[in-house]
Chains A and B, each alone.
Chain A
């Protein structure tokens, strides 16, 4: 059963804490992406990775960090430096045969208490 999984579905964080969101894919895709979605807004790109051990900042990378040690995994850490982290986070992946499109996970809702 191929696809992208994200965990947890819901995450609560106290102010000042770092939290890590998980994203795993078994589609054999080289590229992976993290987006943030706020109410009434489109998705905004946080970070992306075209290949293992390499990643690039997107439009709103401040306060976030990522790693890409394995092709299947692209975890996102929301650090205490992110001023307004409450949002819906979506992970996506794409491959050579994707014709440019991306496949999305189910998302993680992060709430800062």
Chain B
């Protein structure tokens, strides 16, 4: 069974801290892995897409890594800001366009 787990479920940090969100998956035969942001009551906004042949992707203060062999990905957020407060979802994409989601990490950055 293809399962995706995100730890922690919720995280609260003071503004300015660097933080790491974790994602693990049971089936390592992935095509791509993607991190999304979701604000309350809104749709999903794509943050970073890592292809299976890549080890990491960076966009601004965000860096996502991928270790297929261990079934893990991390999303690193540098110098966190209150505007980063949202739920972050990890999604694993398999070759048949099957997309499996974690339950998300709800992040609160306090001013």
Contact = CB atoms under 8 A, between A and B. Distances in A.
Contact of A94 (B42, B97, B101): B97
Contact of A101 (B4, B32, B41, B89): B32
Contacts, number: 52
Interface stretch (B12-20, B43-51, B63-71): B43-51
Contacts of A6: 43
- Say whether chain A's binding surface is mostly helix, strand, loop, or mixed: strand
Interface residues of B, number: 25
Given A101-B93, A104-B44, A105-B43, A42 B34 contact: no
Interface of B: 4, 9, 31-32, 34, 36, 41-44, 46, 49, 51, 89, 91, 93, 95, 97-104
Interface of A: 6, 31, 33, 40-43, 45, 50, 88, 90, 94, 99-107, 109
